[in-house]
Amino acid sequence: MANKKPAPLSPEQPALPAVQHDGGGPLGSVIDRAARLQGPAVARYVASVRADHPDESPAQVIERLEKRYMLAVTGSGAAVGATAAVPGVGTVAALGAVGAETVVFMEASALYALAVAEVYGIPIDDRELRRALVLTAVLGDAGLGALRATVGAKNATLLNLKKNPAIPGLGNLNKQLMKMFTRRFMAKKAPFVLGKLLPAGIGLVVGAGGNRVLGKGVIKNAREAFGPVPTTWPTPHLRVVEGTATTATGTALPAPGTD
């Protein structure tokens, strides 16, 4: 039987309202908007993947989350490149599309990071904790360095948040991570933005290819930040959410007849 193409990564949530943030400019707003994804919504997303593949290990499910994430971010990059290639639309409209595409990229990255946290059994109910988790995951080594300095543990990973989610100084850590993220993201993003504005369809290839590079970087960073993948499912943490039923092992899976 042929392998099915992975479905685009989506939280299946309505648009989230604007929120106040504590720094980072427009990117800070995007991060906060993405971090508004609540635990039950993320749990529902992970549960749906597990329901389709009930015999798979945490590592296999994370691999599927990575494929869905890459499909989402490369699709958005190609769409912006296509905008620049449409006669009569041109660069001005494409510049506007780049802004929207950046939002899509960051929201997909946030959902991916929070979904991986759900697989690890890391609680994501606190807003500041979600923000720290997303930023640390996309920053990789740099984010881990800041996290380790805050918690005072040389070899800490995001898995430490499972044991002790109440980190003193979390707000200051988030401010530091946001500054680091803004500098690094814009430095990496700028060359790809220019490439997406190339005419005659060249931008379409550069757009998809550029986001593929960025997306692979996020996945690599997340792997480093989360640490070793658990070999068993953290059933005590997996929650039963609306529209799901509990299996004999306590794992939340969609109820019969649920899409």
pLDDT digits (tens, 9 = 90+) for 53-85: 999 999 999 999 999 888 888 775 444 444 344
Among residues 102, 73, 96, which one has the least CA distance to residue 209? 73
The list of the chain residues with pLDDT below 70 reads: 1-38, 76-103, 165, 185-210, 235-259
Count of CB atoms situated within 10 Å of the CB of 236: 8
CA dihedral 221→227→232→236, nearest 10 degrees, is -90
Those residues with Cβ within 8 angstroms of residue 181's Cβ, 6 or more apart along the chain or in another chain:
24, 27, 31, 135, 138, 139, 143
Those residues with Cβ within 8 angstroms of residue 96's Cβ, 6 or more apart along the chain or in another chain:
none
Both tokens of 114, joined, read 């929070």
**Under a CB-based contact definition with an 8 Å cutoff, are residues 8 and 76 in contact?**
no
What pLDDT sits at residue 243? 47
What pLDDT sits at residue 210? 65
Among residues 200, 218, 192, which one has the least CA distance to residue 98? 192
Distance between CA atoms of residues 216 and 1, nearest Å: 28
pLDDT digits (tens, 9 = 90+) for 101-143: 566 777 788 888 999 999 999 888 778 888 888 888 888 888 8
Which residue reads 């929120």 in tokens? 19
What pLDDT sits at residue 98? 43
